[in-house]
Structure 1
Amino acid sequence: MTFDVVIRNGTIVTASDMFTADIGITGETIDTIGHDLTGHRVIDATGLLVMPGGIDGHCHIEQEEADGTVHEDDFASASASALLGGTTSVVCFASHVPGRDIVAQFEDYLRRGQRSRVDFAIHQIVTRTDADTIEKGIPEIAHRGAAGLKVFMTYDDFHLTDGQFLRVLDAAKASGLVVSVHCENYDAIRHMIEAHLAAGRTDAHAHATSRPSCLEREATYRAMTLAELAGHDIQIFHVSCPDVAEEIARARHRGVRVSAETCPHYLTLTESDLKRDGFEGAKYICSPPLRTQADRDGMWPYLRDGVIGIVSSDHCGYTFEGSSGKARHGRDADFSLIPNGMPGLGTRLPVLFDAGVNGGEIGLTDFVRLTATAPARRYGLYPRKGTIAPGSDADLVLWDPARQVTITNDLFQGNIDYTPYEGRLVTGWPTIVLARGKIAVENGQVLREPTMGRFIRPECS
């Protein structure tokens, strides 16, 4: 048999195995894994790792905010960055801004996604719990293929009370949707921000000291307790430190159905980056904030043992200088007025590979599990996505583990004007990326056009 494409002699890496073989692709899917396969096009992967395309389960792309702004990284640009970094599927967020029906916002976001170059799934944010949202909206969104719901325990325009959170949990349980949670204590943070500003603390580093880890830990414990009461699954987003991870481990030990993710910036950056001169510290404002070096270094064991099962980017499409970006209120704005979030779609895999695999913290199979297989399972996309097996989509990344690259923002060809990793030297880089059997990136060029991505509905949860 002659396949459309054969990837020959690569070291195939899945979440459980490593072996040398050929991959035969027919159309959009993997047909056969074997030896001495023949194809109309043959790609020699000798010396390369062949891994499932990355799945980034936490991306803010072209997302509308309550103040009317829209994240500046749109689907066309953000998905190009994703591909250049080896990510072939994303899960992103439909808003729930005041005055608009939740189903209408889901459908509007689905239309925006038609400009994506990569396949995409949708989390639906829930910011209020009126009868229409709970009784009609959530069941309808589940029917239309949402990958899950997201709720916030902080932020003025987003946070839910404990009672509201329980109503969302009950509705999600009835509709079979996982609930992901941003865990920080809203009232305590408001208190801390007011105290900082009263004391004249307006600098970027005050963002970190106004949101200490104990407030993330408390909110995480509370979210898991409410999920335990409701008897439903939750996922804790962007765990920033070992204290929170240990709280999750204890909950799992007593039987709470909770999973967790972290992000590369919590594994590689620290709160000292917020102290950079001038307005530069604003580039590193995200929530939860960056923690100490000891916190950073203490996160790795929780990735190895599966307490933290996913590494996502939490890509947040704010520019540094743009009209909706970090400097929207001026370069002398206090920390509480600076939009929270950092870009990371393109850098997620290279930074994690270098820090984790090259750093001896995780193995290659761990890398695939954390960046592809586990998010595919969590969001109901497995085995169509997230693995290398006959019948799976031919989303593949050919990775050169020896290639050294100095990260610069222009490598990722997006709308965002900075990367927090500017000038960082990493070893390990994607050389060819395939999306559903077609070459999407080669020689640093994006070959996949906007509109070629598809909305993907979860098949299971």
Structure 2
Amino acid sequence: MSTPAFDVVVRNARVATASDVFVSDIGITNGKIAVLGLGLASGKVEMDAAGRVVTPGGVDAHCHLDQPMDPPVRMADGFESGTRSAACGGTTTVIPFAAQQKGESLRAAVDDYHRRADGQAHVDYAFHLIVSDPTPEVLTQELPALIAEGYTSFKLYMTYDALKLNDAQVLDVLAVAREHGAMAMVHAENADAIEWLTRRLEAAGRTAPRWHAHARPMLVEREATHRAIALSQLVDVPILIVHVSGREAVEQIRWARSHGLQIFAETCPQYLFLTAEDLGIDDSYKGARCVCSPPPRDKANQQVIWDGLADGLFTLISSDHAPFRFDAPEGKRPGGQEVPFRHIPNGIPGLETRLPLLYSEGVLGGRITLEKFVELTATNPAKAYGLHPRKGTIAPGSDADLVIWDEGEFVVDNKLLHHNVDYTPYAGMTLRAWPAVTLASGQVVWDGHEFFPRQGQGQFLRCGPPTLRPRLR
């Protein structure tokens, strides 16, 4: 009896990449894609895709797992539950954040985050950095050394007191990004405008969750986006504006692109599927579940974001998974209390639902092509953070991270999800697709019904320089 030529063969696949869709078998050896072709020799494991779409495993390049928080608040998902949830939703690489605390070294933040992740992950992961205290030592020693070690991206905040940088500090960090070939991500909201609006709302007794959206109108995102673009232009370095929510910020990015500036943009499912009404139409606390920053906008704005995905304005789509339990003293009810919107932990869960939402309403809804779906959810995130072609594509030599898709009716129910959060903002939605099988490094980790743990087998990835090029308009 002949020895099988491959560890795994996926047959009769409708393979989708960022540039092509074609029928092929996929031969896998030692966790890598060995060959694509028809009529491949046998594998130790044979899988029949039966003509279904097979995409690269998703790369969720903006999510938060086990990030240090001020007590009593604590994130619900660490690396074990977060990567379990990711895998069941078709995501096989996650990039959360090693967050520097003010007064702490950046190196200490990275070391602490490795301790939190070690031995926990079911899928591969890398780290972004959050730079909140750019001291001379951080700028001249720690940050350049960490970039050289494979931490080639970092996030800068223009809001949140514990994290925000002033313009001079942003320029200092962007100069390091330029010198050392790193990717700078920017959370663009005007902190002073938000604080001014918040104080006025509080003085009027308007503190329910729904007022969070009134404290962060599109104007504060537009102004900060414009300023971030200007600072990027001054240093002459690319930046990526994260979780873009609204038409006014989109217009700023279109202007920058039309003037030849290297500005990348990210958005998230909450800006395609939620609106400000999900924060509440009265003073009920239920809206706390959807408090995130920037907040969801209105229905008309959803179309603006869809248009940006279709025409190339957006470079990638991430979940911005920020997992806080709703009915818990360590979550959206700090200390067990219904608190004013200023004190509600910001963020919503979305690791597991990101790909099914976009495949269902984007691809099957006729809003984006299958190739664009792959580009936004896998290929471009891998390129932006120096992981391509190991991640983000289906090609010989790439990791055998694959998703076989089932198309049909799937009703979103939090009881069927695998995160450690007690709700999903998408509960009750009827989707048209869900991952039937997820393979991570050639191993089945999700078969559409059951999760197969790989705890500790997820590898830490050292990132290279970004290889993404913006589309100039």
Deviation of residue 98 (structure 1)?
Answer: 2.7
Provide Cα deviations, 1:16-56, integer angstroms capped at 9, x if missing partner. 11111100001110001001112111100013111000000
SS of the residue corresponding to residue 422 of structure 2 reads coil
Contact 2:55 2:404 in 1 (8 A): yes
Deviation at 1:403? 2.4
Question: Cα deviation per residue 1:159-206 (whole Å; 9 max; x = unaligned)?
Answer: 110001001111222222111000000000000000111111111111
1:49 corresponds to which residue?
53
Aligned residue for 1:87?
Answer: 91
What TM-score do the two structures reach when normalised by structure 2? 0.95
Task: Quote the residue 2:10 is aligned against.
Answer: 7
Partner of 1:262: 267
| Shift, 1:329, TM fit | 4.7
Q: How many Å apart are 1:134 and its aligned residue? A: 1.1
Q: Equivalent of 1:378, from 373, 384, 406?
A: 384
**Percent same amino acid at aligned positions?**
44
Contact 2:152 2:464 in 1 (8 A): no
Any idea what the Cα deviations from partners look like across 1:393-441, whole Å, max 9, x if unmatched? Answer: 00000011x2221111122222111111111110101011000111111
Alignment of 1:7-86 (within 5 A): 7-37=10-40, 38-66=42-70, 69-86=73-90
2:16–2:55: 8 Å Cα contact kept in structure 1? yes
Code of the aligned partner of 1:284: C
Q: RMSD between aligned alpha carbons?
A: 1.4
Q: Conserved in 1, the CA contact under 8 Å of 2:72 and 2:330?
A: no
Asked if the contact 1:314/1:344 (under 8 Å) is kept, the reply is yes
1:442 maps to: 447
Unaligned runs of at least 5 residues, structure 2 = 467-473
Cα offset, 1:345, TM superposition: 0.1
Q: In structure 2, what is the equivalent of residue 287 of structure 1? A: 293
- The superposition leaves residues 86-124 of structure 1 with CA deviations (integer Å, 9 ceiling, x where unpaired) of 000011100111332110111221232221111011110
Q: How does 1:59-458 map to 2 (within 5 A)?
A: 59-66=63-70, 69-114=73-118, 115-275=120-280, 278-400=284-406, 402-458=407-463
In 2, the alpha carbon distance for the partners of 1:313 and 1:2 equals: 38
1:335: how far off? 0.9
Query: C-alpha displacement at 1:446, in angstroms?
Result: 1.7
- 1:83 and 1:393 map into 2 onto residues whose CA distance is 15
The whole-number CA distance in structure 2 between the counterparts of 1:246 and 1:116 is: 39
CA distance in 1, matches of 2:465, 2:221: 30
Deviates more, 1:106-115 or 1:233-242: 106-115
Output the amino acid matched with 2:174: L
| Aligned 8 A contact 1:118 1:435 in 2 | yes
Q: Distance in 2 between matches of 1:169 and 1:315?
A: 25
Aligned residue pairs, count: 460
Shift of 1:444: 2.2
Q: Distance in 2 between matches of 1:219 and 1:443?
A: 42
CA contact (8 A) 2:328 2:336 kept: no
C-alpha distance 228-66 of structure 1, shift in aligned 2 (>3 A):
farther
Give CA deviations for 1:367-401 in whole Å, capped at 9, x if unaligned: 1111000101101000000000000000000011x
Quick one: which amino acid aligns to residue 286 of structure 2? E
* SS of corresponding position for 1:7: strand
Counterpart of 2:320 in structure 1: which amino acid? D
Q: Deviations over 1:258-283 (max 9, x none)?
A: 10110011011111111166221000
SS in 1 for 2:339: coil
User: How big is the shift at 1:147?
Assistant: 3.5
Shift of 1:69: 4.6
For residues 429 and 101 of structure 2, what CA distance do their matches in structure 1 show?
Answer: 37
Q: Is contact 1:65-1:95 (8 Å) kept?
A: no
Mapped partners of 1:336, 1:30: distance in 2 = 48
Contact in 2 for aligned 1:234/1:257 (Cα 8 Å): yes
The answer (yes or no) to whether the contact 1:329–1:337 under 8 Å persists in 2 is no
Cα distance in 2 between the residues matched to 1:459 and 1:411: 36
- Partner deviation per Cα, 1:124-180 (whole Å, 9 max, x = no partner): 001112112111111121122113010100011111100010011112222221110
Q: TM-score, normalised by structure 1?
A: 0.97
